[in-house]
Structure 1
Amino acid sequence: MWQLMAFLLFITATLLCGILKGMESIEGNCNDVIRLPCRATDLTNKYRYSMWYKIITDKKRTAIIKHKSGDITHYNNYNNSASLGEKETLELQRINLNHSGVYVCYLAADIGGQNFESFIGLNFSECMYSSTFQPPTVTDVFCPAVSEFSVSWALLGFFLIGLTKIILCIITVGVCDRVIFRRILRKTGSKWSRDKKGNKVEMEKMRFTRS
């Protein structure tokens, strides 16, 4: 079971890396003002609120700023460095190497509607760091071990998992059928045989009497 869970986590990481490698990325310099567009607004203009996050790991996001009904809420000490522009564009003031990473613009739909989100990366081209140190890129941070994993292998893995589930279901149904059939024989006292075609045929029926 743990092998299956590990494989599913590996597939999730691979798909996330595929998204990150194909997403838009912006280059920035230290102390610049960076504007990160919310591409999700290109998909819809009807939503209850917008929310910007920064991805820390594949399972953890840090909230930055929220816009709902004209009210702006800041999170995690972004009060003086984050604001929103036109079409929910995220504006970051006085950026530094700590701002490098992947950002998510999330649009929350009304109840029963579809939520939308878009990803965008922030890398640094110039900053005050040692010449021997280079800041990691977005894909270096989130995709260190699965960069060579192909989509065809991922699809093959899903196919094998589905095939395994089908086989297990068939075996389970067969076992249950035999158990139920034996219980019926015990209750009715019937003896069964098979004809030339392999069909079950009742030969005789015995009734048990209590002494």
Structure 2
Amino acid sequence: MVVAAKSNSLQCKSFQKSEALKHRSTYILKTLLQKNLICTHCRLLLVYCATQSHQVIQAGCDEDVSLNCPGVDSIDFLSVTWYKVSPSQKFGIIKKRKRDQAPLMYSYARNVSFGENYSLFLPRVKPQDSGTYLCEIGANVGGQSQYPTVDLTVNVADLSPTNAPTNVMNRTQPIQVQELPILWTTAGYAAVALVKIVLSLISIWVLRISFSRKQQRRRCS
């Protein structure tokens, strides 16, 4: 009887320990899942803000154009670099570190400079200047880098005599800026977030099954 009582006591203690470990592991997994959800929401918010900064600019031939780089006033950045990008390539234009006075010029085939608030100044633009420009704001350690883009379209001037006065008047008109729709980008990242949540839940389920099997093996032994 004494041996049976001791055996039952040991089994109860072992069961209590296993239950405590099970609750602890479940708590840790739930905490990790909550942190993952918070990080996912933060990424979606950053994507939304980055998409809002995408601009489309139309300019006339031989106009002076400044491409703004929004975000330099809101983060602690290390450097700002402008690129002209295409679906397959990225060409460096100009770069400036925050601590440096002079910018670093890449081998870009036209005269450019930094304007106010690290904007890209393009004097007397031509049709070949049309394209997508990327402003890379490199954040310091612990920060979030930003990559706002600008689509520039330079309209070809009409050289016919009857339209010459109209072209001169068009040069004085303000540059048109349009915001692009963000629904498709936000929906894509929302789908990624949903996949991460499903994978986290599957991981919790697999770990709990594995833990239960280990406990059953211990009891049988």
* TM-score, with length taken from structure 2: 0.51
What's the CA shift string for 1:12-53, capped at 9, x where partnerless? Answer: 9xx69x927x63322123444322123233435x64432112
Pairs aligned (count)? 153
Q: Name the Cα RMSD after superposition.
A: 3.9
Runs of at least 5 residues in structure 1 that lack an aligned partner in the other structure: 1-11, 129-138, 189-211
More helix by share: 2
Residue 176 of structure 1 aligns with which residue?
Answer: 210
CA distance in 2 between counterparts of 1:52 and 1:93 reads 16
1:165 to 183, 188, 199: 199
Q: Which residue of 2 aligns with 1:104?
A: 134
Structure 1: distance between partners of 2:200 and 2:57: 46
Provide the secondary structure at the position in 1 that maps to 2:148.
Answer: strand
> Which of 122, 129, 137 is the aligned partner of 1:92?
122
Mapping of residues 29-108 of structure 1, within 5 Å: 29-43=60-74, 47-57=77-87, 61-68=90-97, 69-78=100-109, 80-108=110-138
Is 1:81–1:94's contact at 8 Å kept on the other side of the alignment? no
Indicate whether 1:124 and 2:154 are aligned: yes
Q: Quick one: percent identity of the two aligned structures?
A: 20
In 1, Cα distance between equivalents of 2:118 and 2:185: 35
Identify the residue that residue 21 of structure 2 maps to in structure 1. Answer: none
Tell me which residue corresponds to 1:19: 51
SS at structure 2 position matched to 1:183: helix
Give the conservation status (yes or no) of the 8 Å contact 1:28–1:126: no
Q: Which runs of 5+ in 2 are unaligned?
A: 1-43, 159-177
Q: Residue 75 of structure 1: CA displacement?
A: 1.6
Post-superposition Cα deviations, 1:49-70, rounded to whole Å, max 9, x if no partner, equal 321122323x864321012311
Q: Deviations over 1:86-115 (max 9, x none)?
A: 322212245334422222323334444554
Secondary structure, counterpart of 1:105 in structure 2: strand
- Read off the aligned partner of 1:90 and give its amino acid letter: L
Alignment partners' CA distance in 2, 1:35 and 1:41: 15
Q: SS at the partner of 2:72?
A: helix
Give, in whole Å, the separation in 2 of the partners of 1:71 and 1:31.
27
**Alpha-carbon distance between aligned partners in 2 of 1:162 and 1:48, rounded to the nearest angstrom:** 31
Aligned twin of 1:206: none
- The answer (yes or no) to whether the contact 1:40–1:117 under 8 Å persists in 2 is no
- The DSSP-based 3-state class of the residue aligned with 2:117 is helix
